[in-house]
Structure formats: C-alpha cells, structure tokens
C-alpha cells in the first residue's frame, strides 16, 4: 500500500473515532492500531484507550494495540496506562490478560519489548511501561515454553 492510501485510511479512521456511537469508536481503535506507527494515529489511539464514554472502546483498542506485539503498540498502551484512572486501568489490564495469558513465549517477548520503553524520554510511556511489565509478570500463562521450544 502506498503512503497516500495509508494516510487516507488513517484520516478516515480518525474521523470514525469521533463518532458518538461506541461501536464506531471501537472499530476505529481496532483499525487505527494497524497504523499505530503513523504519527497522526497515535494521539487518537491514546484518546480511544482512555475513551470517556465507554470502556468497551478502551478494551477493544488496547487489545488491538497489544496484539501488534511491538514497541509502537506497547508505547501507546503504556502512555494510556500511566494516564488512566482506576476503571480504565482495570480494562487495560483485562486486555493484557486476554492477549497474553495463553502463550508464555508471547508474554515473555512482550516483557522484553517493553523493557526499553522504561527508559523512554516520555514520562507517561516510561511510567506506564513499568506498570505494563508488572502486569505481564503477574500472568501465569496456560502454555509455558519448555527448553526444547
């Protein structure tokens, strides 16, 4: 996909994120998570994770970002986590569990990917990354890698 098409997709999803309907905002969060590396998408993603009207948007967007399993997605979730009230933090925690409670190797990879974020220049990312690592460390995955994996 060329950059023009990517920016058009991001612009359309940002527009959808402004909808009054929580389902539209949740869909926008899921879609925008695929474009989290685009600077214009990040602020909207942060706003969606901290959606003031419906925590379904929070959980859906956080899950989509976490499923990227990369530092870009983790950084947005970490920044949101540091800004979150207790209710939003609980829903972000639910998203972390949904994504990482099955495969130990995915949880371990997430911890490794988040470690550099604890030294990020942005205070919110740095503080949230520490919280995210704590959440990940508390998970007892269903499938744990063996030495042969």
* Mean pLDDT of the residues in the chain: 95
The token pair at 115 is: 């470690």
With respect to residue 26, please indicate whether it lies within any of the assigned structural domains: yes
CA distance 139 to 98: 11
In a domain, 149, yes or no: no
Tell me: pLDDT of 82 over 80. Answer: yes
Tell me the residue range of the domain where 17 lies.
3-138
For residue 46, the model assigns a pLDDT of 98
Whole-angstrom distance, CA of residue 30 vs CA of residue 44: 12
Residue 128 forms part of a structural domain: yes
Q: pLDDT tens, 54-79?
A: 999 999 999 999 999 999 999 999 99
In this model, does residue 117 exceed pLDDT 90?
yes
To the question of pTM greater than 0.85 for the whole model, the response is yes
Task: Quote the DSSP letter at residue 114.
Answer: H
What is the domain-level CATH number for residue 14?
1.25.10
Within a domain: 148: no
Residue 143 lies in a domain: no
Mean pLDDT for the stretch of residues 115-123: 98
Taking every pair of C-alpha atoms in the chain, what is the biggest distance, in angstroms? 50
What's the structural domain count of the chain? 1
């Amino acid at each position: 996909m060329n950059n023009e098409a990517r920016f058009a997709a991001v612009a359309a999803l940002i527009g959808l994120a402004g909808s009054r309907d929580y389902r539209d905002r949740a869909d926008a969060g899921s879609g925008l998570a695929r474009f989290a590396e685009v600077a214009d998408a990040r602020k909207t993603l942060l706003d969606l994770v901290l959606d003031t009207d419906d925590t379904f948007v929070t959980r859906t967007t956080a899950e989509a970002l976490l499923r990227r399993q990369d530092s870009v997605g983790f950084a947005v979730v970490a920044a949101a986590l540091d800004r979150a009230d207790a209710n939003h933090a609980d829903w972000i925690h639910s998203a972390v569990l949904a994504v990482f409670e099955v495969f130990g190797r995915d949880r371990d990879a997430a911890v490794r990917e988040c470690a550099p974020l604890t030294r990020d220049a942005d205070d919110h990312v740095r503080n949230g990354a520490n919280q995210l690592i704590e959440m990940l460390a508390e998970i007892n995955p269903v499938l744990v890698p063996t030495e042969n994996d």
